[in-house]
Every structure is written in C-alpha cells, then in structure tokens.
Amino acid sequence: MTQDEALALLKTGASIFLTGQPGSGKTHTVNRYLHELARRGVEFAYTASTGIAATHGHGVTIHAWSGIGVREALNRRELDALAANRRLGPRIARTSVLIIDEISMLPARSLTLVDTVCRHIRENEAPFGGMQVVLVGDFFQLPPIVRRGSERGMLPLGDGDDAFGAEFAHASPVWCDLSPTVCYWTEQYRQSDAPFLEVLAAIRSNACTSLHRQCLAERMIERDRLPAGCTRLFTHNAAVDEINQQQLAKLGGETHLFNMIAKGPDPFVQALKRGCLSPEGWSSSKGPW
C-alpha cells in the first residue's frame, strides 16, 4: 500500500493501523492527515506511548491525555472522577480523532484502560466512545515497557525500574472490537542502499541466511581502525555516558551547570524524567549531578 492510498483511507473516517518497516513514511503520512484535519476544523488528539515520541507531533502521552496516568486499573468511582474533571472530560468528549503513535510500546492493559475511559466519558459503548482511532507503529520494533513486576510473566530485562515483557497492544480486547484496517507499507524512503535494506529486512523478520551473514562479515573491521566520527552502539547507558564524559573532558572553556526544574504531579514528573535523554543536571567537566 502507498502513502496516498493510506491517506485516502484515513479521510474516510475509518479506524486505521498504520504500520511498516522504519523509513516507510508512517510519521510523514500522519502529519499530512493532521494538517488535513486542522484545515477542516476537526478536533484531534495526537498522543504517543512515550513522552519523547509524543514530542514528534507536539502532543502528549496517551496516559496523560486519557487521565489513566500510571494506573493499572480503574473502578467506577475513579471513572466518575475523571469524567468530572473540568479539563479532561470536555477534552475527550470533543475529540473526533485519536492518534496513538509508537503503539508497539503501549501495553495491552493500558490500551484497554484508555478505551474504558473514553466510553465512560463519551457515554458511548462503541470502541473508544465512537472516535476514529489511528494506531501507528511497528510491532517488530520496541515492545511494551512497564513497571518492573507489575505484569504477570514479565521478562526481567532492562535497566532501572522498567522492563520489557508486557502483552502487546493488539492483545487487548478493544483491538478486536475496533478491528482497525491495516495499512502496511513496503516503500522505503530512509535508505537507498539495496543490499543494506535487504539485510535490515532479513534481521527484522528473523530470516537471515548465509548470504546476509556474509554481507555483514565483509563489513567487519578491526576496532583500532574505526573511522573517525562513525556511529557506535552500546548495550548499556553506562558505556555511552563514559564515552560522552571522555569527549566532554576534551572541551575547553568555562564550565556551566544547567539544572532541570520540574513542576507537576510527582508520578508524571518521574515518568518524564525516566524518558528524558539528559540527566537532571549537567556540567561539561563534572558530569551529571
């Protein structure tokens, strides 16, 4: 399917799952649709499963938009409180189109809670209270991240308090109820190197052959012969921080310290800090504070 075909489907008002390999144009097509909605004066909400992803479309996390926050369940009293919220209730009630980006990182339980809140506030038992829902992402990429120990069967992976292993969003009952039309793109705009793309596609689908491995082996070089400025990948943030500190130590000039200032409910503040690429304070010579 092409981007234009997917955009035409979006304009019909149908709920859509936009997916495809990296570089296929998912974000570009969503932005085209957002511009069309704005032109027509249609109320929409751009959200994402993480704070960093939400900034790509000048939106907010789906957790903040829906009011579910860090909750894992909602009772009737809590649903009534959300509906009575002077900002949250009207916002959800007037939204016609809900976009959830990076859907692969949203646990099934969270998607179910969002649906529950939307149905309750909009007093409509259709999925998400009758809104058009546009789910964007690639389940071959990052899996859901949840608080360690909060989901049964979760894998003990990841640094800090978070870990992978929750059920993907498509395991939520509301995914089946919504039955979104799947728009899968095979076009590629980010890379033009055909052999490289073939290797990436094989890795993505776990279909590597000896030819793919040979292609990678031919690109191997000795560590001490790494070209200047090449991209380096690490498995842990500590290794990245060490390299950054080494490079910062080489800089001359006066040292400046910039401290983060945070305001708002503590659960939201802590969630944003965990998703922030920079530490709370940074000095060019003394490192994070």
161: confidence class by pLDDT, cuts 50, 70, 90: very low
Sign (positive or negative) of CA dihedral 129, 130, 132, 138: positive
Contact 112, 151 (CB under 8 A): no
- What DSSP string runs through 141-191? S---EEETTSSTT----SSTTEEE-PPPGGGSHHHHHH-PEEEEE----S-
51-55, 92-96, 202-206, range with the lowest pLDDT: 51-55
Residue showing tokens 């308090």: 161
> What percentage of the chain carries pLDDT values higher than 70?
87
115: confidence class by pLDDT, cuts 50, 70, 90: very high
Question: What is the three-class DSSP state of 282?
Answer: strand
Question: What is the three-class DSSP state of 208?
Answer: coil
Task: Point out which residues pair with 287 in neighbouring strands.
Answer: 283
> What is the domain partition of the chain in residue ranges?
3-185, 191-220, 232-288
pLDDT of 113 strictly over 70: yes
pLDDT at 249: 85
Burial class (CB in 10 A: 0-12, 13-18, 19+), 178: buried
Mean pLDDT, rounded, for 258-284: 73
Q: Which top CATH class is 3-185?
A: alpha beta
55: confidence class by pLDDT, cuts 50, 70, 90: confident
H and E: helices and strands count for the chain: 12, 11
More confident residue, 111 or 286: 111
The CA-CA-CA angle for residues 24, 27, 32, to 5°, reads 110
How many angstroms from the chain centroid is the CA of residue 241?
23
